[in-house]
Chains A and B, each alone.
Chain A
Amino acid sequence: MTTVYTLTIDGRDVAGSEGQTVMEVAEENGIAIPGLCHLEGVHDRGACRLCMVEIAGSPKLAAACMTTIAEGMEVTAHSEQLLEYRRAVTEMMFMERNHVCAVCVANNHCELQDTAAALGLTHFDLPRISPKVDIDASHRLFAIDHNRCILCLRCVRVCDEIEGAHTWDIMHRGLETRVQTDMGIPWGESTTCTSCGKCVQVCPTGALFEKGRPVAGGSKTKRPFLPWLKVVQEERGL
């Protein structure tokens, strides 16, 4: 029997079962916490830091997607300070790479864009880094433009946990961090990639895309297939 905990999020009384994260309970109760790396159907990784919340009694902010609930927890998911903080995090995502929405495959279907809009991020104050970043278009069907990658690692997780190929991983550190295929070889030469396209589907931005699609005006749209895969996994007791 699962234990049920009661807690408050933004002053609202809510309940969830043991093992659930603050993010999941908030979602079930219609409380939207921003997040770009969280993806239903794969394990959370706490990569984007957008879902940070305040927990009464703790001096540190906690990632809602990585924090499991406890009895009597008092969570603040929305405050002026958190909003400021989330804006800053989002701004850094833009500044770290080169985003030119007007000619991007994901324009108007982009979770980064949507997040910026929802947070009311209207202008950038941070200096641009404008790094010289690569595009790998060696795969027959897909390409990755690292200019638009926010390192959410959804591709890494979906490839590993659902497709079971583990083609994607990360390399380097700090500003040099990149997702990579196999051991850093061109995607087109990967021997593990099954060309299933799941990574392309889950990428929240225009970083991963199908080659040869007309660009701009948002030719990249999503198919909601992950929740079904999750159901299948659960039924099989995986």
Chain B
Amino acid sequence: MSRTIVIDPVTRIEGHSKITILLDERGEVSDAHFHVTQFRGFERITQGRPVHEMPAIMARICGICPVSHLVASSKAVDDILAVEPTPTGADLRRVINLGQIVQSNALSFFHLSSPDLLFGFDADPAVRNIVGVARHSPQLARDGIALRKWGQQIIEWLGGKRIHPTGIVPGGVAEPLSAEVRDRILAGVPEAIAAVERAIAWYKSDMLRWEEEAATFGNFRSAFMGLVDRQGNVDHYGGWIRVVDADGKYLADKVDPRTFNDYIGEAVEPWSYLKSTYWKAMGYPDGIYRVGPLARLNVAERTGTPRADEELEKFRWRVGRVAGSSFHYHYARLIDTLHAVEKIEELLHGPDILSKHVRSVAGINRNEGIGVSEAPRGTLMHHYRVDDDGIVEWANLVIATGHNNMAMNRAVLQVARHHVKGETITEPMLNRVEAVIRCYDPCLSCSTHALGQMALAIDLVGPDGRVLDTLAR
């Protein structure tokens, strides 16, 4: 007799999904699938629209990281216009993109993941939430809320709106920065740095408690992908694509992001609407790689800012030069955030940051454009084709959750193997499957390019295809 486990819904992640765990004849876990069950075809609705509308449409794919789509989309349109944004325009885009990184990382770590870390993965869900955190460790909760707010304010002040900002446009940004806004953002820097550093200190002091999770939460060998600048430091906005293997060896370096299609393939599995991307040279499904904060630290030499570099050194000393466990996404996310805050400060002190030259203007000069940037969850790629009048004929997005799709499946499988015993879904196992997915901080609304809320269910399915147990919440 064979069995399957399905988990539905994964709370505290964004979107709509379901997990199936397949058991073999002996009742052992044979495979696990993370399905994304919704699809609304965002690429389709963009067909026939003028390409200048793309950034505004794309910013609406997702209420969680609109700026990331705005940046990647504007870069793709820059490519079609064949223009470089002005230096100040590019720097202002960087600042707002980093504001997005800060706010989204803070949401992931403090609001969604810190309850598990603080109370244990099996604690009562009634306490295992941000309100429980606020009661137990008020400073931690305050820091999370303050960081997120600071990031959101940057988006709002520079982008015009917090939810669907419009300040980033093809060619640069819509408005120059005023000294007043610059100083307002800078005033928040010391507190933001202090908040992340407190969280890092707490994480380091407690991380031994999570040894078991670190060993079983998606701890496997895979490649990693991220953007790096010319010095090989983390670059959230531009630069080159670098891919390293599990030992840190370069699989590719100095790859022009515009050529990503030569390196990355997209596979479709019948059980999910979410395409799985793979490293072409290694084929499917061997070409598994991860993106996001962990990948950014694994591929880069350094972050390029002093405090984050100091922490990165300690990180590598603790978890290795190329950290393999997906559990370390949490730790990496904190260092990524620290770097983002420092980088915002550095950029805002730039001599030309208040320049009025923030936008390059041009017409349609190419029929195809690609824009690549780092979103909070990893490398984000927008690819458009337009006719000679700039009307969109075709669009494709490769999003972080797609890059991580295979890795998430592998991580769920590992956790299931470790925790599934018998034919029922137990609470501890449900909690851990949820928690391992949360390491990747997947945002499923944009993965399927659908709008809306996500929920998760687990089915336990036997070899004969019969559903043995189902758990949803």
* Chain A positions near chain B (C-beta within 8 angstroms): 102-103, 135-138, 140, 143, 145, 188, 211-217
Contact = CB atoms under 8 A, between A and B. Distances in A.
Interface stretch (B158-166, B347-355, B396-404, B419-427): B158-166
Contacts of A136: 389
B391 interface: yes
Given A103-B53, A140-B363, 12 more contacts: A102-B56, A103-B60, A135-B49, A143-B389, A145-B50, A212-B361, A212-B363, A213-B52, A214-B166, A214-B169, A215-B50, A217-B166
B196 interface: no
A211 B169 CA distance: 13
B85 interface: no
7 contacts: A188-B389, A211-B52, A211-B390, A212-B170, A214-B56, A217-B160, A217-B166
Contacts of B174: 214
Nearest to B77: A212
B453 to A, nearest CB: 19
Contacts of A137: 50, 389-391
Nearest to B57: A103
B50 A211 contact: yes
Contacts of B391: 135, 137
Contact of B56 (A135, A145, A215): A215
A136 B364 CA distance: 14
The 4 closest A-B pairs by CB, nearest first: A216-B56, A214-B169, A137-B389, A217-B166
B144 interface: no
Given A103-B53, A143-B50, A145-B50, A216 B390 contact: no
Nearest to B50: A137
Contacts of A145: 50
Contacts of A140: 363
Contact of B52 (A138, A188, A214): A214
A217 B162 CA distance: 13
B48 interface: yes
Contact of B166 (A135, A143, A216): A216
B378 interface: no
B55 interface: yes
B161 A212 contact: no
Contacts of B55: 214-215
Nearest to A140: B363
B51 to A, nearest CB: 9
A103 B56 CA distance: 6
B269 to A, nearest CB: 32
A109 to B, nearest CB: 14
A170 B88 CA distance: 46
Nearest to B58: A103
A214 to B, nearest CB: 4
A140 B161 CA distance: 31
A135 B50 CA distance: 8
Interface string B275-306: 00000000000000000000000000000000
Contacts of A102: 56, 60, 164
B235 to A, nearest CB: 25
B159 to A, nearest CB: 10
A216 B48 contact: no
Given A137-B390, A188-B389, A212 B48 contact: no
B57 A212 contact: no
A213 B169 CA distance: 9
B359 to A, nearest CB: 9
A143 B363 CA distance: 13
Nearest to A216: B56
A217 B55 CA distance: 12
Contacts of B57: 103
A215 to B, nearest CB: 4
Nearest to B160: A217
